[in-house]
Structure 1
Amino acid sequence: MNGSYPVIAPIVEGHGEERALQGLLHRLVPYLREGAYADVQQPYRLPRDRMLKPATLAQALTVVAARRPQPTAVLVLLDSDDDCAVELAARVRDLARQSHSHIPLTAVVAVREFEAWFLAGAAGLAGHMGLPHDLVAPPDPEGIRGAKEWLSDRMPPGVTYRPPAHQPSFAQHFDLAAARAGAPSFDKLCREVAGLLG
């Protein structure tokens, strides 16, 4: 711990998550533990292809580990796309251990994509940024290929879902409880963040 609270350094793969994850974690911490606080640092963006290479992941870890206040943990977030989320998370953890075994690190992989969590918690987005007021979550949100397209199809005519523009706001409004129930990978994020709170 840094003083009496954790300091979390996120590493993400996309521009949208670079802007959205910090706000989501600030929202999640008191949701998971009433009265809790964590210093969530600005996410470091590392594209997926570089995140899965030992040298570039090591370089990113060196950068975030040198921040002040010094992180008490690193949280890596990426999308599974068509890969197995469990295996991909294990691969990232193994790569990180090769160079930075002294840094507490957890890797969370969103099944399919980050936006699957928005689909699972869609009720909280009803009426937000032009989405329908009767918006409901689809069955099996993590089984949908193209969560971004699902959101675009429900936005006003001429409006397309764009991660950098929409993710930060959607991350503040989607239904957290419904997302935990409907998206196991989001529940995994919640459990990992709760663990980082000590």
Structure 2
Amino acid sequence: MTIPYPVIAPVVEGHGEEKALQGLLHRLVPHLREGAYADIQPAYRLPHDRMLKLEPLSQALTIVTARRPCPTAVLVLLDADDDCAVELATQIHSLARNSHAHVPLTAVVAVREFEAWFLAGRMGLPHDLAPPPNPEAIRGAKEWLSDRMPLGSTYRPPAHQPSFVQYFDLDAARHAAPSFDKLCREILRFLERPTAEREGEAL
């Protein structure tokens, strides 16, 4: 049996991203390449501190790569918070190579927070309020959003992330948030890989 399209298995750290990333990728794939399709599997949640440990990450990769159809790529998404995004991504890749060197995996690290992408894409803000000039420099993007949401509203990731990913400006976010541009480039790379691989040979 052949797979005529990419099959992407996400691994995320937060409850909000469990639903949000799948929705974002469904929207992003045809936006990046007209007419493109990818099978986006449900996200597997692995808390941030466990992502950075060999055994829990290995167990997560074993679980997601055992799915059917077999993923052609694994996407690990986490927040940098106060750490260096490049160093975190390198650490994830190094850990993954120890146990799953055969798995096509990429790690995308949102600089500061996932919510910085919403600020970059002008989502969750009153129409008369411009986003900060450098959204990824904001420490506490969740609180920044809460302070500027309509009166009586408080930003809550599990409630707002799945909705916000459907409406934020993808092109504006890609321009203003380099880590979101990194996500876009990785998805394009998944789409450009040969897809007519046998299911059992995909990973």
With normalisation by structure 2, the TM-score equals 0.92
Structure-to-structure mapping, 1:117-132, within 5 angstroms: 117-122=117-122, 125=123, 131-132=125-126
C-alpha deviation, 1:2, in angstroms: 5.3
Bigger RCO (CA 8 Å, 6+ sep): 2
Cα distance change of structure 1 residues 2 and 155 upon mapping to structure 2, 3 Å threshold: farther
How large is the RMSD of aligned CA atoms in angstroms? 1.2
Structure 2: stretches of 5+ with no match in the other structure = 193-203
Residue 162 (structure 1) aligns with: 156
Distance in 2 between the 1:102 and 1:135 partners? 47
Aligned residues: 192
For 2:29, the equivalent position in structure 1 comes to: 29
Shift of 1:156: 2.1
**1:135 Cα deviation (Å)?**
3.3
- Matched letter for residue 17 of structure 1: E
Q: Tell me whether 70-79 or 146-155 shows the greater mean CA deviation.
A: 146-155
Alignment of 1:28-107 (within 5 A): 28-107=28-107
Note the alpha carbon deviations across 1:9-35, whole angstroms, 9 max, x for none: 000000011110000000000011111
Go from structure 1 to structure 2 and tell me whether the alpha carbon gap of 1:50 and 1:2 turns closer, same or farther (over 3 Å shift): farther
Identity among equivalent positions (%) equals 77
Query: Runs in 1 of length 4+ with deviation above 6 angstroms?
Result: none
TM-score, normalised relative to structure 1: 0.94
Match of 2:114 in 1: 114
The one-character-per-residue Cα deviations of 1:92-140 (angstroms, maximum 9, x if unpaired) are 0110010000110000000000000000011xx3xx6xx4222322110
Structure 1 unaligned residues grouped into runs of 5+? none
**Residue of structure 2 in register with 1:8 after alignment:** 8
